[in-house]
Chains A and B, each alone.
Chain A
Amino acid sequence: MYRIDFNKLRFLICDDNPHMRRILRTLLHSFGAREAYESEDGATALEMYSHYVPDIVITDWAMPIFDGLELAQMIRQPDSKGNPYAPIIMLTGHSEKRRVTVARDAGVNEFLAKPISAKGLYQRILNVVANPRPFIKTKTYFGPDRRRNTANAYIGPERRIGGEMEVLQQPSLLDKARSSV
């Protein structure tokens, strides 16, 4: 059995709502985390990301200045001086399927729909710590491998060319978002 040593993890929380930040801080501290930095908008979060170099980013979607989606896109710059590989967990009130897909395509690792639960948050953190995915770089995408479909017969327009038939045996982001609530 495995457990996470939270006191060795550094978190960056980004949410414009002070109540949600307080809840997140409470949950992370209860898990055992000691370092959780907070920002209330995407621009500040990006500065803090460069300064504090967090291990895991937990971000809301809808925020002022620029939102959590844009934050994810700015972190996932393959040629940036910072770390473009940090796990990003999108914690959001959005609960539509298309939003999950958009978040995935921005390079988000995990999607957690509000209302938040201790179990849902813990599971997302455990997953990014224990099961990191390789990153994929194409002309239009840089981020964790989005390929979770085990159907080898897929020949659609987004099929990668020249790749081996490697697939990750794990549920889709959407399935996980559904099962956690």
Chain B
Amino acid sequence: MAKEQPGKLEVKSFADHHVITQPNPLRKVLLRVPESDLDDPVGRAEKALAGLSGEFKNWMAIEADRLSAAHAAILRDGFTDDTREELFRAAHDIKGDAATFGFPSAGAAAESLCRIIEHAPDLDLVPSDLIAHHINAIQAIVRERTKLDTAATAGVLSRSLRGIADEFLTYANRDRPEHLEAILAPSIIPSE
């Protein structure tokens, strides 16, 4: 849409690589505006996002239900490629979405669950309570938020789960240095 006719590629060749430069096909969408320009696209987008926030609790409940359904399938059928994948994807979505939806502690608990699924050497040997507690905690944070003693309780809950999960994963991967390194590496996302 914004593209001009494809600009002529300039190719410089070296011993083991080529450097390909193309006139910026998107340069026409870059507008020079005076410093006094008051348009604030980021502020406008933040307001629009706030306008969606009335739906966030419902969306979060849907995501939590999907996680519980994935867990129920595992209790019924055991860990298969499909059931494992669905549990991971459901937890991973909550990890990414929950903070936006106003449930950062649910996101933290989901991240802990993702780490278990990703790094446990054998999921069948993971204590079933460890997985169940993560899912119950996420459901509690989402469903019972008004009954929990503010966000602090949810934070304590998710941090406790993470601590237990990390202890389990560190021990279970004591002979798997590449996993151990990944488990102990800091996240690029600052903690709460």
Contact = CB atoms under 8 A, between A and B. Distances in A.
A121 B48 CA distance: 14
A27 to B, nearest CB: 5
A79 interface: no
Contact of B45 (A27, A92, A128): A27
Contacts of A116: 100
B18 A137 contact: yes
A35 B2 CA distance: 11
B63 to A, nearest CB: 7
Interface in A1-45: 1-6, 8-10, 16-17, 19-20, 22-23, 26-27, 29-32, 35
Interface string B1-18: 111001000000011111
Nearest to B14: A162
A140 B73 CA distance: 41
Contact of B182 (A29, A98, A181): A98
Point out which of A87, A94, A178 has the most chain B C-beta atoms below 10 A from its C-beta.
Answer: A94
Contacts, number: 182
Interface of B is mostly: mixed
B46 interface: yes
Nearest to B107: A115
A30 B45 contact: yes
A115 B98 CA distance: 8
B152 interface: no
A55 B37 CA distance: 26
A139 to B, nearest CB: 7
A113 interface: yes
Point out which of B21, B29, B37, B46 has the most chain A C-beta atoms below 10 A from its C-beta.
Answer: B29
A101 to B, nearest CB: 11
B19 A134 contact: yes
B177 to A, nearest CB: 14
A163 B92 contact: no
Contacts of A98: 182, 185
B2 A174 contact: no
Nearest to A34: B1
A136 B107 contact: no
B1 A62 contact: no
13 contacts: A4-B41, A27-B45, A30-B47, A114-B96, A115-B100, A118-B49, A122-B45, A129-B26, A130-B30, A135-B20, A135-B21, A138-B17, A138-B18
